[in-house]
Amino acid sequence: MAAAPRKRSRTPAATAAAAGTGPRRYCAQPVQIPRQLDPSVPAGRASAIIAASKKWVVGTELSYYCYKKGDAVPSAWFGSNTDVAEVDTAFQGWAALGIGLSFRKVAQPGDAMVRIGFDPSDGSWSYVGRDVLNVKDPSQRTMNFGWALNTPYGRDTALHEIGHSLGLEHEHQNPNAGITWNTQAVLDYFSGPPNNWQQSQIDWNILRKIPVAEVKGTNWDPDSVMEYQFEAGLIQAPPNYQAGLMPKGGLSAADKSWVQESYPGIKPPQVSQLKVGLSQLLKLKQGETRLFEFAPTRTRSYNIGTFGVSDTVLVLFEVAADGSRTQVAESDDSGSDLNAKVTLRLQKGRRYQVGVRLYYADAAAETSIQVW
């Protein structure tokens, strides 16, 4: 069946129709305890770690699964064929930007990093970036959709929740937005139907400012797919949003450039070979990632690690014959005096890739990687 053409910008009539007669429902992120680094970690290093710690290592293949009939989870989580197709389309929309991440739909929830439910009573939400790895139980969701996805608002919701999984936060919480809320109006609006949020959810999703290190860019992007629509009376300043805020719909130019800069596409000449016992300089700048190939010549336990005074996350992927990649181990040494290291039994004849993201280095040129 041919895909229906997608409307990427809203006409006023479509906006009115999508808005319906009452307040709309919004994405409600699960309230999290922010990561605490040891107080001895200097501020510059800490903000570099915070900026990168939710981002995936380039080369990661995000596997995803939509719960369906037969799974041992509440039946309310099962998605309709229509909504599942919209989720697939939204993943393809992000992938089409030519980024260094790929997405693969898998047949079992236990094989998926991103597990998606469609419970209408639970709203729409997703864990942010690598936080999804903390949800390990195959019967637990990392994302939920609480309303139909085959509308302009629904398609933007699908892009928005996947944006969270890629590491994006809400754009109205960007401290550079300079938004002053009418706090009482915000509390009244979101605690009422149909959202019925607790104050902690309102604080977490609307009023809280996100640390500068974690936001998408230095400038506020009111057209971001990570921005909410806001009705009149909720924003006091900037004054031109007192009458409400309506993002254009779809991915904004800044959404696209953020994901392309965070996850640059991988060109084969950039992938170096790792050889046992030979260290290679990482040659990474802060926030950059690099991918290496490793083909074991014997089946045995191998160590793969970084050396140098730096904070890195190191991820080991196994690459299947069809090119699909599975993350088999990871190590994150950020904020500690240790180096990232994984130890795993690897099989001769199989193909592995090692991805490294450098959060921070005292002397970046001296950080290296080695297999032994």
Stretch that binds Zn ion, among 20-28, 39-47, 57-65, 73-81 (CB under 5 A): 20-28
Verify binding: residue 27, Zn ion, rule CB under 5 A.
yes
Which residue of the chain is nearest Zn ion when measured via CB?
Answer: 27
The answer to whether the beta carbons of residues 226 and 245 sit under 8 Å apart is no
Q: For Zn ion, which is the closer residue by CB, 177 or 356?
A: 177
With CB under 5 A as the rule, give the number of residues binding Zn ion. 1
Stretch that binds Zn ion, among 22-30, 101-109, 135-143, 330-338 (CB under 5 A): 22-30
- The minimum distance between CB 66 and Zn ion, in angstroms, equals 19
The answer to whether the beta carbons of residues 350 and 305 sit under 8 Å apart is no
Q: For Zn ion, which is the closer residue by CB, 27 or 112?
A: 27
Any idea what the Cα angle at residue 81 is, between residues 76 and 82, rounded to 5°?
A: 105
Q: For Zn ion, which is the closer residue by CB, 27 or 66?
A: 27
- The minimum distance between CB 354 and Zn ion, in angstroms, equals 32
- The minimum distance between CB 29 and Zn ion, in angstroms, equals 5
Q: How far apart are CA 369 and CA 278, in angstroms?
A: 9
Q: For Zn ion, which is the closer residue by CB, 27 or 235?
A: 27
102-105, strands of its sheet edge to edge: 102-105, 61-66, 114-117, 143-144, 125-126
> How far is the CA of 138 from the CAs of 12, 62, 145, 166, 238, in angstroms?
42, 15, 18, 20, 44
Verify binding: residue 132, Zn ion, rule CB under 5 A.
no
Query: Which amino acid is residue 52, in one-letter code?
Result: A
- The minimum distance between CB 26 and Zn ion, in angstroms, equals 8
Q: For Zn ion, which is the closer residue by CB, 27 or 313?
A: 27
Asked, as a colleague might, if the bond just before 238 is cis with ω within 30 of 0, I would say yes
Would you call 125 helix, strand, or coil by DSSP?
strand
- The minimum distance between CB 271 and Zn ion, in angstroms, equals 34
The answer to whether the beta carbons of residues 360 and 50 sit under 8 Å apart is no
**158 closest CA partner among 172, 140, 145:** 145
Q: For Zn ion, which is the closer residue by CB, 144 or 339?
A: 144
Stretch that binds Zn ion, among 24-32, 40-48, 181-189, 193-201 (CB under 5 A): 24-32
Q: Which residues bind Zn ion (CB under 5 A)?
A: 27
